[in-house]
Structure formats: structure tokens, C-alpha cells
Structure 1
Amino acid sequence: MYQYNLKVLIVSPDPLWEKAMTLAQTPKRFTLSFKTQARPEPALWKTASFIIVDDPTPEILTGLRSECQKDAVLIAAVQQDLPQTDWAALCQSFDEVWRKPMPQPLILQAFQRWLDYLKTRKELWLTENYLESTINSIPDLVWFKDLHGAHLKVNNAFCQAVGKTKDDIVGRGHYYIWDLKQEEYEKGEYVCLETEEQVLKARKTCLFDEKVKSKHGLRQFKTYKSPIFGDDGEPIGTVGIAHDVTDLENMGTEMAIILRSMPFSILVKNSDNVIINTNERFEHYFGITHGEIVGQDYDVWQAQTLLRIQASEKAEFQEALIQHEKEERLLEIREEPIYDIFMNLAGKLYIFRDITRQRQMEQQILYNSNTDFLTGLYNRRHFYEYLAQNRGQQRVSLIYADLDYFKLLNDTQGHQAGDEALVLTAVLLKQCFPDAFLTRLGGDEFLILYLGNWALTELTARSQTFLRKMEEQFRSRSIHPSLTASIGIAQTDDPQLSVDKLMQRSDQALYQAKQQGRNQVRVYGESGSPQAAVESERGLFGI
């Protein structure tokens, strides 16, 4: 839909910045162009959308923000020993400040994070644009309300009906918008005050016949109202679509208009399973004309078109795969019965909605909630969830790893060096424990979980391999060559032993490894270890 050319300007004599950033993974629909200049050329600031300034001078601080694009991202790269007053000035002028020295992997990681943010910002803009374009293309009245009845968003048709602008409507209630006196509105003579409460109570889409006294006289509306739910599953407002049926002569015409105005792909079949109607969105999405689809047997069309159909987890609708524009897309299919005046089943209406992007976003949200942002390992909350769901009667083995002198590394070389050490540690954990459930508990503490009949000798050997690889990797990196780790292992076959108690045991074994010189592995209960489970002053998750 859109194509974004991100122009990156690097003001630095050091070629390392561009060299590292060109390794970044370019987001979809993005193109990147780089230009590095040793001395600032203000003429280039106006065209760049991402600017990095290495050790900015006071002159640059004064003029950069006013010279560059309004939404340009400004990054300053400075030495860590910069005075506090200078830091304050930088934070006011720049979107982010990077501390030097900054190794290539960290530059790449920081730039990739900004690319992901800019991608999200563009997608949000596109989604907003989709919503505005969708509701404004509907000839019927569309509105969104909060729980107090204030209008949050309306479409152009709504503005035309009430004779007011969107700015005048947003935030206002019904009686003001429709030019009713408040006492008329409260009497409920011209609008059903209970419909909003009914929708929220039913927690589903409801259809109402409503009369509204407007500038054009008394009008009759067929109104669909649906609740909008927050991420906690509770209603936060409603959305309504109203079609003016004051002048309609029959329900057939009304049905055709409603089908055409709905923002989803819709198909209608009769009691003989024959397709009798579709809307334009359906025909466009499935690449078929009205004449080609009407008259077909629904089951035959479904078998030819949909790759796979399955019930959703909540069983409220079905989900199906379809080959759409050379890629597989996921559809939500809702089925609604249609009854005649005698309440006999006259047919069914199907609503098809493409939920591919929604499912992808849900999976991304789930991933983000279960993992640690920096290392990509699972977080503490998901550790407890996973163990509760999968432990059963199995043997549980915990390997507790803690970096040695990590606080000293942060204090002497900065948090960026610490972050690099944590990221590298996570990489080594994945290499040495590929079949384990890996968790970052917090700070520099990591937990390796194994379920099943794992021998302590095997776990100890893997842990020692990890320590050896870690020592080799960090020795080869000048920024933190002496960083090591200590490990404590605990194991139980008792399904009644709590995970907190087992973690306490592994923590005690880890504490012993620290006391005996660090950079080693200790097993709880082994010869020479604290068999009596002495409580250490470090607490359950000490450093």
C-alpha cells in the first residue's frame, strides 16, 4: 500500500556507523539509503529522515531540530563521560542518545530497533487510514461511542445527516448532535435510550428500529449496534451503523442496500442451499462476478474455494484458509440464520472477514508478553505458566546461571556493554542447551529447565561446556574479557515439591559455586554441598 524511503544521514568521520547499519534487516515496504559526511552540511538535513550526529557541537544542538524534517529521528552519539548538564541538553534536542564506544553488533541492534519502531508507526498510520477510508465509503451513518454516550468517531454520511462537522460532533452527546432539547432526549420519545445498554448487556451485535427527530423531520433507522471490547474483555464502547429506511418501500430493497453498505464480504443462501446474493466486497475479494456466483450450490462453491475449514477456539465462528493474490490468507466466517415472518428458517447469511493481519499481530503480542525483549529468552511469568501446564509427574531439573561480577561490568563499562554481555550469554545458552526451556529471570540471572529423565551427569557436562564456551567467547572480546558465570543445579522426582523450593535449592548450589571461586558448576546435594539447605543472605534470587 505504501513505500517508505528512509534516508539515513550520518555526520561522523568514522565509517563504522554506516558499515554496521547497512547490515540491518530492511522492513517490508521500506527502502534504505545512507550518506556519511565528516562535517555537517545543513542542506542535507532537510532531506534526511534519520540523522546520527557523532559528538554534536553546541552549534548543531542549536540549529538541527529547526532545520530538519518535522518527523525526522535525531540520534546523538557521545562519550560516556559527558557532563550531566550536557546530557540534559542532548535529551532535549535528540530523540535518543547513544553512548560511545559502541561496537558494531550494538549499533546494528539499536538501529534495527528504530527500524521496527518506524515500521510500527507506519502500520499504525495505515490502519488509521484504512479505518477512515472504510467508514467514509459507507453511505450509511457510522459512529463510535464511549460508555458515556459521547461520539468518538463518525463518518461523512453521519455529518451530512446531522449538518455538522466532525470537529463539532466528536465528544458530544446525542441530543446536541441531533438538535434535540435535553428534556426531549431524556423522555426517550424519538430515540430508544435503552438500546446502548441492551447491546452492552448482550455483548453482541443487535438490530434496532429507531426513530430520530432530525433537521429533516422524523426519520426511521434500521440500526446495527455492536459492543467494542478492551483487551481485558470488558466493553469500552459501541459502534453503530444506521440506514435510513424512512422512504424504503420493501424489505428486499433494504436488504440489498444493507448488504452493499456492510464493510465485510457477505454471502446469502436460501433454505435450498443455493446462493442468492453477495455484496460487492465479496465479489471483489473472491474475484468473481455477481452473475457467476448467484445460483451456485453453497457447499460446492465452498469446497472449490476454501482450502481448509475449522471451528474457532470459541466455536462462535469458523476459520478458513484461502489462496488470495498468490498467498494464503486466513478468513473468519460467521454464520447467521435468516427467518421469515413465521419464524421459519429461510436461509443463512455468511460474513467473511480477512483476519490474517490480526492473527499475526496477536501472535506477535503473545510472543512479546512471554519473552524478554533484550535476549529473546522466555520471561519469569511464562516460565511459571509453562511449568504449571507441562510438569505433571515428570522429573524437574533446574540449572541456575548467574554472571560473575556483572555489576562491576555495568559500573565500569556502562549498561550497553552489560546488554551486549547478556545478549551473547543468551546466544551461548541456546547453543549449549538447545532442547531446554530457557528463561531470563531478571538482571544477569538465567534459568535452564529440563522436564523428563535427564541425568545430573549430562546436565553437569552441558553446564561445564557452556562455561568453557562462555570463557572463550568473552576472552576474545576486549570490552569484557574476564566475564564468567557460576552455575547451580537442582533436581527432583517429587511432583509435590514446589518450583520455588527447587529454585531455592539451585540458588543455594549457585551460591556455593560463587563462594568456592566462581566460574564453576555445583549440584545441590553433591558431596561438599550444603545438604541442610542453609538459607543464604542473598535471598531466593540473589546476586
Structure 2
Amino acid sequence: MVWYKDIKGIHLHVNDAFCTAVSKRKKDVEGKDHYYIWGIPREVYEASDYVCVETEEDVINARKTCLYDEEVMSAQGLRKLKTYKTPIFDEDSQDIIGTVGIARDVTQEKEYRSTIQRLTREDQLTSLLNREYFYDVLKQNDRQAYTLLSFDVEGFHGFNERYGHPLGDAVLQIVAEELRLAFTTNHVARLGGDEFAVFLPDALSDEAAEASVRAFQEQLAFMLSMDDRMKHLRVNAGIVHAVPGMTPERVIRDGGRALDRAKEVGGGACCSSGESVMA
């Protein structure tokens, strides 16, 4: 898309790609302002996140070419643009008499990039973080103290064999959703199989961590109780208090050990690394 505006923001010339984007004929575009061309009332524009007009003013004030990421509402819906805008100077006075814009529609490109990024980070079944990306989260935070919660579904293997994988997958999805709701963090992961983990950026006490685990377990038990086949399932938990300098491997290993101790008791037990089992 290419366009030329005068200093008042009136489009003097546009190319065919611009006309396609706004779904208007060239004769209906040239001589009109931004609001008319894009079909956005001024009051709607001013209450929105659109920045096209503001960036025109920035370019004029900067007196040089600028690059922007912009959003416009086109005939094809909301489009994301990578836009170059440059001032046009009067040859004699060097006053700015208008601007030229060149834009490339990167909507699909950004959507593809977002999808690829999501797929490399997420577990496909639950949409939680996957094991690899969760390790990266722990590594990025290894200079601070934090709390790691580990979970597994007791008796899940036998449940899968008895009722089949579709129902087993439903259980994992319910656990994932309740973890998302219970913990106000974006860092909830499925480590594999029926194992889950939660990264909490605060160094919680055993009491605070256990209280959050118990609240989750109770709500999950309530949700599972709605299906007679699921109502006997329980989730055991392990708590690790990571200190600065602990590697992700060490934290995950300690979490696994705490979880193993909880599994020895079973029935929805909770164990903190270095502490006794809390059944």
C-alpha cells in the first residue's frame, strides 16, 4: 500500500493496493481524510487503539522517516501493518507539505508467528506450558527464590486402562483447567503423562503453599465428583522452596522426590521437600 497525504491529512494519491484494502475506488479515496477512507467515525477512532493519525503527526514533528506497527480496520477486518512514513519537504522553503506512507500487511505473518510460538510452548492436550518451555521459565528465574508445586493424578494409569484414553484425556483437561483457575500465574505446565507443575514467583511458607494446594485439591475433587467414574480420583502434591542458584534440574528433581513421598501416603497427600508428609 502506498499513499501521499497533504499537510492536512487529505489523501492526494493512493495506489491500487490501498484501494483494495479499504474497498473503495481510487476516485472515492483521493481528496478524502483518514476517517472517511477507513470508515471510522472520529469519535470511535479517538476512543480506540488506532494510531495512524498520531503517527503522521510524529513524522512531521520528527522531520524524518519513521517505522511503525499499526492496526487499521479494513474491508478484510482488523489488519496489522508494518508502515514506513516520511515527510515531504517544499523544495524552496523546506517546510513540510505532506507525508508519504508505504505499508505492508503483516497480519497473517504475525498470526503464523504467534501460532508457531504457541505450539513450541504449549502442551497440545491441555494448552498448559510444555516441559521444555517450563524448564526455560525456571532457568530464567534461577537468581531468585520461588515456589514450585508438583502434582500427579493418583491411579491414573489404572483409570486409563479401565475407561479408555478419551476419558483419561478429559480428566487431564479438568485438572489443567482447575490448576489455571487456582493459581494466579501464567506458568502452569504439564510435564508429561499425569504430572503437572506450577511455578509461583513468591517464596511462600510451607503453610501458605499447602493452603493453596489444599484449596485446589478441594475444588478439583468437587469437579471430579460430578462423574461417578472420576469421583474417586485424587491428586497428590509436592512443594519445593527454590533458593537462588538452584538449577531447573535440581528443582524438578526435588519436586519429584517430594511428590513421591506424598504418593506413598496417597489419597491426596501433600509433602514439602525437607518436611514431613501432610496427609
Query: Shorter-normalised TM-score: what interval?
Result: 0.7 to 0.9
Report deviation, 1:321: 2.4
Q: Deviations over 1:45-93 (max 9, x none)?
A: xxxxxxxxxxxxxxxxxxxxxxxxxxxxxxxxxxxxxxxxxxxxxxxxx
Taking the aligned partners of 1:373 and 1:317, their CA distance within structure 2 comes to 36
CA apart distance, 1:411: 1.1
- What runs of 5+ residues in structure 1 fail to find an aligned partner? 1-264, 337-346, 530-543
Residue 330, structure 1, aligned to residue 66, structure 2? no
Determine if the alignment matches structure 1 residue 511 to structure 2 residue 260.
yes
The CA deviation string for residues 275-328 of structure 1, in whole angstroms up to 9 with x for no partner, is 87532222343447359648x9xxxx9xx9925549xxxx99532222434954
Aligned-partner SS, 1:321: strand
Structure with the bigger RCO (C-alpha within 8 Å, sep 6+) is 2
Structure 1 contact 397–454 (Cα < 8 Å) conserved: yes
Tell me, yes or no, if structure 1 residue 432 matches structure 2 residue 174. no
Aligned position for 1:379 = 130
CA distance, structure 2, for counterparts of residue 475 and residue 269 of structure 1: 65
* Counterpart Cα distance in 2 of 1:500 and 1:368: 23
1-structure distance, mates of 2:71, 2:117: 22
Does 1:362 pair with 2:99?
no
**What is the aligned-residue identity percentage?**
23
Task: Please identify which structure carries the higher helix content.
Answer: 2
Paired residue for 2:166? 416
Q: Which TM-score applies when normalising by structure 1?
A: 0.39
**1:165 alignment partner in structure 2:** none
**Distance in structure 1 (CA, Å) of the matches to 2:225 and 2:250:** 35
1:448 Cα deviation (Å)?
0.9
Q: Report 1:254-265 matches (<5 A).
A: 265=1
Equivalent AA in structure 2 for residue 385 of structure 1: D
1:464-523 deviations in Å (ceiling 9; x for gaps): 22222333332331223321111111102x321112101111111111111123420000
Q: Which residue of 2 aligns with 1:285?
A: 21
What is the aligned counterpart of 1:461 among 194, 211, 230?
211
1:426-454 CA-to-partner distances (Å, cap 9, x unmatched) read 12212222336210011100001101232
Residues 1:267 and 2:17 aligned together: no
Q: Deviations over 1:324-373 (max 9, x none)?
A: 3495432222469xxxxxxxxxx997432222343234323322322112
Pair 521,527 (structure 1): closer, same or farther in 2 beyond 3 Å: closer
Q: Does the 8 A contact of 1:308 with 1:321 survive in 2?
A: no
User: 2:93 corresponds to which residue?
Assistant: none
Distance in 1 between residues matched to 2:178 and 2:259, nearest whole Å: 19
Is contact 1:309-1:320 (8 Å) kept? no
Are the structure 2 counterparts of residues 483 and 359 from structure 1 closer, same or farther at C-alpha, using a change threshold of 3 Å?
same
Seen in structure 2, the aligned counterparts of structure 1 residues 308 and 367 have a Cα distance that, compared at 3 Å, is farther
Query: Which residue of structure 2 lines up, in the alignment, with residue 520 of structure 1?
Result: 269
> 2:252 is aligned with what amino acid?
M
Match of 2:103 in 1: 352
Aligned runs of 1:202-217 on 2, under 5 Å?
A: none
| Corresponding letter in the other structure for 2:120 | S
Secondary structure of the residue aligned to 2:244 is coil
After superposing on structure 2, the runs of 4+ consecutive aligned residues of structure 1 that deviate more than 6 Å are none
The 1-side partners of 2:134 and 2:66 are apart by 31
The within-5 A match list for 1:121-160 is: none
Query: Aligned ranges for residues 37-436 of structure 1 at < 5 Å?
Result: 265-267=1-3, 277-286=13-22, 287=24, 289=26, 293=30, 306-307=52-53, 309=55, 317-325=67-75, 328-334=78-84, 350-389=101-140, 391=141, 393-435=143-185
- Tell me: CA distance 1:445–1:316, structure 2 relative to 1, closer, same or farther (3 Å): farther
Gaps of 5+ in 2: 38-44, 46-50, 57-64, 87-97
Residues 403-432 of structure 1, C-alpha deviation per residue, up to 9 Å, x if partnerless?
Answer: 111110111111111101101111221222
Q: Distance in 2 between matches of 1:517 and 1:289?
A: 73
1:472 and 1:291 map into 2 onto residues whose CA distance is: 62
- Match for residue 500 of structure 1? 249
Taking the aligned partners of 2:275 and 2:181, their CA distance within structure 1 comes to: 27
